[in-house]
Amino acid sequence: MNGLRIAVPRGALFAKTVELLDRIGIDTREVRENDRKLLFEDSGIVTMRPSDVPTYVEAGAADIGITGKDVLMEQSEREVYELVDLGYGECTMVLATAAGEDRATEALRRLGVVRIATKYPRVAARHFVETGRQAEIVEVKGSVELAPLTGLAEGIVDLTATGTTLRENGLVVREEIARCTARLIANRVAHKLKAREIDALLERIDAV
């Protein structure tokens, strides 16, 4: 791909990312047909979990990559350039609690601190600091919706696209923290050394 190696996210962003690459003239047939293979030398594509994309791009193992804004917010220490908002994969980072009385607000009023379960501990901690509230952050890896239902936490910070999973688990959105979409990022050195190739790619993306 013009001498560029691109980190492509598996999972929710995969289909739209592959579609975008097809539209700008990159052959993704082998990528679409092979679930197990991860590195595609001919097309310059390497596939991985979205949360690993900034790691590979920062280290120079990929020149550019596509991942969600939620990942970049959580990994804000990564030294990568965020080049463009690709506009797809739209979700919202929210604070949610069980329907009815807002237990998070009640805990803050009563105890001065609230317990929040999340897969995004840094985003959650930053949000509460910035809004002047004290939170005990509990990091979970699985279904975060379970936390308020079992008493592990009063609220959760998580991504939602439609709100269906929250509603099905009796949770409601109390605050919106950020809008998240797919972003194109670049390695800082590659951004200088391969500026012509990256600029050409950006022009093709802009055209579609």
Domains defined for the chain, CATH in brackets: 6-89+181-207 (3.40.190.10), 91-179 (3.40.190.10)
SS3 103: helix
- Per-residue confidence (pLDDT) for residue 208, from 0 to 100: 87
pTM here? 0.92
Q: Would you say residue 1 has pLDDT above 80?
A: no
Amino acid at 186: A
Question: Which helix H or strand E contains 123, and what residues bound it?
Answer: helix 121-130
pLDDT digits (tens, 9 = 90+) for 85-127: 999 999 999 999 999 999 999 999 999 999 999 999 999 999 9
- The mean of the pLDDT values for the chain is 95
Residues 6+ apart with CB under 8 A from 125: 135, 137
Q: Which tens digit of pLDDT belongs to each residue from 3-43? A: 899 999 999 999 999 999 999 999 899 888 888 889 898 88
Residue 133 makes CB contacts below 8 A (sequence gap 6+) with 108, 114
Exposed, middle or buried by CB within 10 Å (0-12, 13-18, 19+), for 3? exposed
